[in-house]
C-alpha cells in the first residue's frame, strides 16, 4: 500500500462574474498533485465581490491538503 500526501498552495484570480479565471501554483511538494488541485479550483464559483456597487475581480489563496491511500 502506498500513500501520497502533500500541500498545494494556489493563487486564483476570480473575475467579476465569480468564476475562477486563472490559477497559479505558489507552493507544492508533490508535482503530481498540482494538476488535481488546479482542476478542482477551476470548478469553484464565488459570489462576485462588490465594491461601491461595482463587481470587482479579486485574488485569493487556497490551500489543498491531500492524503491519498492506494492499494496498488
**Domain-embedded: residue 24:** yes
**Domain-embedded: residue 36:** yes
**Domain-embedded: residue 71:** no
pTM for the structure as a whole: 0.83
Give the pLDDT of residue 72. 59
> The domain containing residue 43 runs over which residues?
2-65
**Domain-embedded: residue 43:** yes
**Domain-embedded: residue 70:** no
Give the pLDDT of residue 54. 96
CATH number of the domain within which 33 lies: 3.30.2420.10
**Measured between alpha carbons, how far is 33 from 39 in angstroms, rounded to an integer?**
10
**Domain-embedded: residue 35:** yes
The parts of the chain modelled with pLDDT lower than 70 are 1, 71-72
Could you tell me the maximum CA-CA distance found in the chain, to the nearest angstrom? 54
Amino acid at each position: 500500500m502506498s500513500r501520497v500526501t502533500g500541500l498545494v498552495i494556489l493563487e486564483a484570480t476570480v473575475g467579476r462574474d465569480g468564476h475562477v479565471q486563472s490559477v497559479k501554483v505558489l507552493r507544492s511538494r508533490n508535482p503530481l498533485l498540482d494538476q488535481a488541485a488546479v482542476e478542482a479550483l477551476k470548478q469553484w464559483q464565488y459570489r462576485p465581490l462588490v465594491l461601491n456597487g461595482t463587481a470587482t475581480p479579486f485574488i485569493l489563496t487556497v490551500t489543498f491538503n491531500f492524503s491519498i491511500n492506494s492499494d496498488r
